[in-house]
Amino acid sequence: MEVATLTAKGQITVPKAVRDALGLRQGDLLSWELEDGSVRVRAVAPLDVAYLQGLEDTLSEWSSPADEQAFAEL
C-alpha cells in the first residue's frame, strides 16, 4: 500500500511506485470517482481532438429535418 500526504493547498504527490505502475508522466490526467466514502483514482486517456472532430462531422447525416421529425416523439 502506498501513502501520500495532503498539503495545505489540497495537493498530493502520486507515489513513484504508482506512477511507474500506471506509466504516468507530467501532464497526464487523473479522474477522481467518489464511491461509498472512498475515492477511486484512474488515469485518463488524452482526447484525440482531431478524431472527435471527424466523428462529429460524420454525425451530421443523422440530424436532418426528416430525422428530427421521425424521432420527435421517442
Distance CA 60, CA 33 (A): 33
Does some domain include residue 9? no
Does some domain include residue 2? no
Does some domain include residue 52? yes
Structure confidence by residue, pLDDT tens digits, 9-22: 999 999 999 999 99
Owning domain of residue 56: 16-71
Does some domain include residue 24? yes
Does some domain include residue 50? yes
Residue 52 in grid coordinates: 472527435
The four Cα atoms 49, 50, 55, 58 give a dihedral, to 10 degrees, of 140
Does some domain include residue 42? yes
Does some domain include residue 5? no
Tell me what the pLDDT averaged over the chain comes to. Answer: 86
Domain count, the chain: 1
pTM for the full predicted model: 0.56
Does some domain include residue 22? yes
